[in-house]
Structure formats: C-alpha cells, structure tokens
Structure 1
Amino acid sequence: MFAGAPRLIHRRLRLPHRPRALSAARCISNAGSTRPSPLAFAFDIDGVLLRGTKVLPEAKRALASLDGANALGVKIPYILMTNGGGVGEDERSARLTKQLGVPITPANLIQAHTILKSHAHEYADKNVLVLGGRRDVLRKVAEGYGFRNVYTTLDVKSWNPNVWPFYDLTPSEVASIKPADFSTTPIAAIFVFHDPRNWALDIQIMSDVILSRGLIGAPYTSPDDSVKVVFCNPDLVWRGGFERSRLGQGAFREAFQAVFTALTGKPYPHVQYGKPTTATYDFARGVLQQRIGEAYGEPAARQANFYMVGDNPESDIAGANAAGWSSVLVHTGVYDPASGPPAHAPTHEAPDVEAAVRWAVEREAVRARASG
C-alpha cells in the first residue's frame, strides 16, 4: 500500500446524478469547429466503465459525449488506462468496442503490460519467463511485443513435474506447452504481466530461477540481482463483479516477497510498473499527446490539460496527482465514501464517470470563457 498524501482542501461541485440536457444551440453553434480541445481524458476501466463483465450505464453516455455533444462542442481525445491486462491490446480493444458501443482501438488502450513494448528490445534475444494469464496467452502477447524466447511456469512444470508436485497440468495446459530443458536454458528476466493463476507454482519457480541465477535445478547461491524481476500492476485489490474487492497482482507480489524474505532474509529487488508509478504515467502522457497531436496538432498537445478518472485512490488518484494531472475519483468501484476520506485526495469526486466527464468539461469551458 502507498502512504497517504497530505489532505488537500478543495471544493467539490455538487452535480446531479442524472445528466443535464445540453443546449442544442450551444452544441450546434460549435459543430464542425476546428478549435482544439483544451483537455484530454484517461479512464480506468474496472470500476469506472465496467464492473466485471457488466457495462456501467453511465459509461456509454460519458464516452459518447466526447464525440462533440458536450459543453465545449468539440471532440475530446481520450485513452483507456488500466492496471488490468492478460490479453493482447487488439483483442481487448475489440471486446471493449463491442461492450461500450464506441470505437476503441489498440492505440487508445494502455494495459498494465503495454509499457513493456518499449523494453522488449533489451531482452529480444534472451530467455524470459512470463507469469500470469491463462495457458500461453501471454506468451503470444509478449512475442507480439518483440520478445523472441518466452517461457511460462507451465513449461517448467511440464519439463519436470517435481518442481511443484502438488498440481497436475490440465489437458489444455499441456497443449500450450513450449518444450525446453531449463537446466540448460538460462532465464534472464521474469515479467509478471498479469495476475498469476497458480500462486504456489509461480512463487516456487520464481524462487528457483533467482536462487539458481537463471538455471532451474542448479545449486542455490546467495541471491544477487542478476535476474531482473518486473511486476506490471501494483494494485493490492481491484473491483470486479463480486460484491467486495478482490486480491490483485500487488497481493501476489507481497506473497512472493514474504516467501523470498523468509528464505533469504531480505526481499528481492524488482521493477514496478502500472498506476501509480511515474513510468506508467509518463508513458500515458506520451500516448495522450500523440492522440491530441493527431487530432489537433502538436501545439494543442503541449497545452492540453489531462484528467484521470478512476475508482482507486491508491493507483488512479495518487499517480495522477504526482504527474500533475487533474484527478476525479468516482464512487462506482474500489473506493467507498462510507469508509472515510480517500488516502489520496482527488481534484474532485463524482458519483460516476458521466458526472466526472461533465464536471471536467464544464470546468474547462469556464476557463475558456474567462481567458477570452
């Protein structure tokens, strides 16, 4: 968990839960305007647009309004930015397009592991272990990013079932195996792309790789940092279709480090990506600026104000605040107002994503009128 930020004193505009009708003349007068949007959005997905597989009704209206039917009367660029993942951006964006009723392209989607595209060249020709997801789905995602020699813990289990004798591979898992002799296949890095399905198997094999310095089954040595370990999602909990929040990849990281510390006396150094890390928000800033530049040109990209709309104070709000973005905390996901003030104070709170968008757009409209 992240330490709470100092409480910020800020004014919350009380907006009605249902959308106000926009003035038709106001929207029509700006139709076809080429003036740039003064803002751009990054939306979390789970708990903001979706809850499990269910689309929150406000989500479709909020995204549709960004096409021009808003107080500014302009198209507003946006991206979806999630600590989730587990599939390729092509597959996820196609699914989201169908669910949300608006076109979502891979270029508009940042998953927790998307940032690894920019790091694949470092390990393109080295052997890497990818954790998380089902069967070999994330092997294929990693290969699509540019990693050439990708293995999973299921591959290791198939090579020698005794690495973790308390679990038997299913037929579908056996069919996904990539054969290798891991006693002669040194692993250079471990990337936890998505939430692991078998924590015990994965923690055991991670420990084997690190303590044997890459060659599974070799004698254990004093641990050093020769094997790079990367986690893509720090969320301890996330909000899905169940009534209460579920443990996330951050919980797996804590479990691994607790076991590794018990074995060796100290945790293993690792790289952390995902919200709220600076690296992930810097990556998102670049993607948003590219979207704005494509729509309105580079000057607009440099001047736009960024808004993060999320449901998790520890990731969405903390990261946006640190990046200098405006942040809007919605009440449809992880954060429950009944539990007290959020650990990281947002610029604004809203009951749902539609109210969040309306508040941000009207805020920028007021600023635009004031500046002339």
Structure 2
Amino acid sequence: MLRSKLPWPAKSPRFTRQAPLLRNIQTKSESRRPPLGFAFDIDGVLMGGLDPLPKARNALRILDGDNPLKVKIPYILLTNGGGYTEQERAQKLSSRLDVQISPSQVIQAHTILKCYVQEYAEKAILCLGGRGDTMRKVAESYGFRKAYTTIDLLAWNPAIWPFIHAEAEFALAKPIDFSITPISAIFVFHDPRNWGVDVQIMCDIIQSGGILGNPYVDTNTQQTNPIQVIFCNPDLLWKSDFPQPRLGQGAFRESFQAVYKKLTGSEYPYVQFGKPTKPTYEYARRVLHNLLNDIYGVGELPNMYMIGDNPESDIAGANGAGWDSVLVHTGVYNPTSGIPPTHLPTHEAPDVEEAVRWAVEREMSRVDK
C-alpha cells in the first residue's frame, strides 16, 4: 500500500462542531481549480449504521483544504440509500460527521427521479418504500403533485391486502377514489417495508391498466402499453449495523418479477437507476460539474474518484463511467475472505482516509511530472 510521502499537514487530534471541517462547498473562495473530485458512498465508507466510521472525519478534513494542494476538493455523496429529502439527509450527515454538507452534494437513489417531474407532475404516481407517508413528501418536494402511497390505497380499500391491519397509519392517507384515478407510473423510491402488499399492488395496477379494481387487460397490452415502473436501487445486498449484509431493493425487484412472471408468463419491462447504472453516474457527473462551475467558473471536469465498499455497485459503476475507483475494507467487501472483488478497483484501501490520501498523492504526482 502507498504510504504518504508528501508534506501532509499534521493530523488534528480532535474535531468539534464549533469548527466545521467543511464549509459550504458552493462558497466561491478559491481560484485554483483542483485536479480531482470525489464521489463517496455513505454506508460502509463514511458511516457504519448511525455512527461515523473512525476515519471519516479525517477524510473530509483533507477535502476541506488540509492537503498539500491547499485547496478545497469538491465532492458529492452518491448513495443507493434514500428515504429522506436531500435536505434532511444533508442535515443528518452534517450533524453526525461534524461537517457542513449542502443538499446539492447529496445524490440518493431516488434523486434522479427529479428528471421525471416534467412528465408526471400532474399525473397520479405510486411511490413505494419508506415509512408512512415519507416517500410522498419526498416526491412532492421534487414537484410531483399527485403522489400516492401504499397507505393511501389500503385506506381506500383495505381488502386489497387483507393480511395486515394498517388502521393506525390511515390517518396519514390522502382520501382518493382509485377506481377513477388512473396510476400512470410506479416509482420504487426506497426499500419497501412490506413486500407482499407492494408486490400485490404493483401487479394489480399493471394488470388492470392503471385503474385498481378494473378487469385485467391481456399480457400483450400490458407489455406494449406499459405502466412506467422505475426501481431506484439495484442492490441485492447492503451493509447495515447488523454483522451480515441485508437484502435490499434489488431483492424486492426480483421478488416482484418472479411473481409477475408466474402470473403472466413473462417479465415486466422496467427502468433501473442507482449504482452501478450508467444514467446514475452520468447524473452524478453533471451534479459535480455544476458544483465546480459554481465555485471556480466554467471549466473542465477533473479526474473523478469513486470511493466505495461494494464492488457490484460502487466499483462496477465507476469503472463503467471511466472514473478511477477505490475499494475500502470497511463495508460490504470482505478482504479476508480470500475471494477477489468481482469488479477490480483502481486501488484498494483499508479505510476512507487512506483512499483520499492515495488519490490526492496520485494526482499531485501527475501534476509534478
């Protein structure tokens, strides 16, 4: 492993909220454009459950200017997680990491759905995942004016899924008659809490052509004139604070497809976003480019580094986008297993601080040549 040989500033033994490590990334304070930018996964890289990983604060302090370049190095947080507005996620991370993170730096799995607002702003959409009416609030913050949830559907007709009683949550429901309200799209914003009811509702909407309770249309019509279905996170597994990885939204998608295929004989067409998909990395590239242009003025995007813990999402996506990638050993990937990562990174590092130091030194050595 490459050890630091450049004149890094001495590490501070302690960091406090009174002295934020990272001021707002959009503040125009430097004139020298840095030669690199970063995209960080969150869980398993910066955070371990609700708590920051040990080297996360040091890594962000380096990006704040405590580096041999003496400049702020721009970064974004690119996660397959979600469940909050970007503002809420930025506030939570700022508090826990002792930094000031702007909502514009946060790209969650469902952030890319902002691109669909123009098409669906006035059409009824079903928002799956999250707790209660959280995903409706996120969708409405993006500009979707007719966003509905599983709770809305169950409050309208509890017989949709007679195996649970959700009366306690019906107070959160929007009163709407779904027998005359066509659902135009199903957006799986975040991991569903009850797979059974959500798979049932998805199949009902698709098979009935968007009107719940209507007779089912033939499979060919379902396929040629489909209800738009978008999954925002392909992760089969994700790292929580439980010792072993947990099933994610990718597993829910597989469950839905298995049931739909059993019912109809074919899989259902869908759009997949989230790491490692190309559209998500293109979206992230545009976000970071805009941040850089806000700080330094219009210019070229520097070399991009993705720091992640999951070879299947972080590393595969970065490699496909032509970014450099660093796989850290603090999350999904287990370096002691003896099994090499399924997608080879540019570099491996024990933690996020070493990953950042390696990338900065690498770019500096190129500049010095």
Write the distance in 2 (CA, Å) between the matches of 1:63 and 1:192. 31
Name the structure 1 match of 2:58. 61
Write the distance in 1 (CA, Å) between the matches of 2:123 and 2:30. 51
Alpha-carbon distance, 1:307 to partner:
0.4
Name the aligned partner's letter for residue 253 of structure 1: R
Aligned residues with identical type, % of pairs: 59
Write the distance in 2 (CA, Å) between the matches of 1:15 and 1:272. 39
What is the Cα-based RMSD across aligned positions, in Å?
1.5
Name the structure 2 match of 1:95. 92
Name the structure 2 match of 1:213. 209
Q: Which of 186, 189, 194 is equivalent to 1:190?
A: 186
Write the distance in 1 (CA, Å) between the matches of 2:306 and 2:71. 19
Is the contact made by 2:6 and 2:361 (CA closer than 8 Å) also made in structure 1? Answer: no
Say whether residues 1:277 and 2:274 are aligned partners: no
Name the structure 2 match of 1:200. 196
SS at match of 2:201: helix
Write the distance in 1 (CA, Å) between the matches of 2:50 and 2:7. 29
Q: Which of 114, 117, 123 is equivalent to 2:111?
A: 114
Aligned residues: 346
SS at match of 2:55: helix
Name the structure 2 match of 1:153. 150
Is the contact made by 2:289 and 2:301 (CA closer than 8 Å) also made in structure 1? Answer: no
SS at match of 1:42: strand
Is the contact made by 1:72 and 1:362 (CA closer than 8 Å) also made in structure 2? Answer: no
Write the distance in 2 (CA, Å) between the matches of 1:254 and 1:145. 27
Alpha-carbon distance, 1:81 to partner:
0.7
Q: Deviations over 1:292-342 (max 9, x none)?
A: 11222222xx14100000001111000100100000000100111123110
Q: Which of 5, 18, 22 is equivalent to 2:8?
A: 22
After TM superposition, the score normalised by the length of structure 1 is: 0.90
Q: Deviations over 1:208-265 (max 9, x none)?
A: 0000010111111223242000000000010011001011100100111011111111
After TM superposition, the score normalised by the length of structure 2 is: 0.91
Alpha-carbon distance, 1:281 to partner:
0.4
Q: 1:164 to 1:359 in 2, by over 3 A?
A: same
With 318-327 and 71-80 compared, the bigger mean Cα shift is at 71-80
SS at match of 2:131: coil
Q: 1:23 to 1:79 in 2, by over 3 A?
A: closer
Write the distance in 1 (CA, Å) between the matches of 2:49 and 2:9. 35
SS at match of 2:109: coil
Q: Structure 1: which 5+ runs fail to align?
A: 1-12, 25-31
Q: Deviations over 1:59-98 (max 9, x none)?
A: 0110011111113221100011100000111111001100
Name the structure 1 match of 2:295. 295
Write the distance in 1 (CA, Å) between the matches of 2:31 and 2:152. 54
Alpha-carbon distance, 1:160 to partner:
1.0
Q: Which of 306, 310, 313 is equivalent to 1:312?
A: 310
